[in-house]
Structure 1
Amino acid sequence: MSAVRIKKGDTVVVIAGKDKGKEGKVLTVNAKNHTAVVEGINMVTKHAKPSAANQQGGILHQEAPIDISNIAYSVNGKATKIGYEVKDGKKVRVAKATGKAID
């Protein structure tokens, strides 16, 4: 299994699946399961019973995890791969399409 190059807060585009072509911001990354939760992507309905936290209960719409292989870092709306370079003694992520440092 390869290293996870996507981080929380990155803007990504879906490259495979039912939401192909959509963009969103990464909310969480689970490196162990190789998944990420992306804002507005892979929406599912969840039926919740009334509880102390949720008095009303009912049907909730929320994001489900998506496999990291199905998303790519987005630069100007286009998918790009991520590489690494050492600049000023620090290892930084670099967008392969533009050559610019990400963080």
Structure 2
Amino acid sequence: MNRIKKGDEVIVIAGRSKGQKGTVLRVLSEDRLLVDNVNLVKKHVKPNPQIEEKGGIKTQEAPIHISNVMLFNAVTGKGDRVGFKVEDGKKVRFFKSNDQVVDA
């Protein structure tokens, strides 16, 4: 079980997007993920008439390393570390600062 999953709200703690919050769109590998409106880059795209795609410069999210983000705790308003524990026979994630369960 990963500490950060698709749909989690995270805050960036390092890099040029430091301090930005966003929702995880995809977990690409064990250590890379895409976050909505974070780590934006410009990509030059050639036109493709087969799929009716116009050419130009597009802005899109680039992958960010999982060590540069923390799970956002809405109670404290900050990024928080995540731990694991077993409740009712299920493995759940919890915030280390206040022992609140992330997965309800």
TM superposition score normalised by structure 2: 0.90
Alpha-carbon deviations, 1:11-44, whole Å to 9, x = none? 0000000011110000011234x11100010000
Query: Who is 1:68 aligned against?
Result: 66
Query: Who is 1:89 aligned against?
Result: 89
Aligned residues: 100
Moved over 2 A (4+): 52-55
RMSD: 1.3
C-alpha displacement at 1:96, in angstroms? 1.0
Do the aligned partners of residues 78 and 46 (structure 1) sit closer, same or farther apart at CA in structure 2, a change above 3 Å counting? same
Which residues of structure 1 form unaligned runs of 5+? none
Give the SS at the match of 1:27. strand
CA contact under 8 A between 1:14 and 1:21: conserved in structure 2? Answer: yes
Which residues of structure 2 form unaligned runs of 5+? none
Query: Who is 1:100 aligned against?
Result: 100
> 1:26 is matched with which residue: 24, 30, 36?
24
Written as runs of structure 1 = structure 2, the 5 A alignment for 1:29-48 is: 29-32=27-30, 34-48=31-45
Of stretches 50-59 and 23-32 in structure 1, the one that deviates more from structure 2 is: 50-59
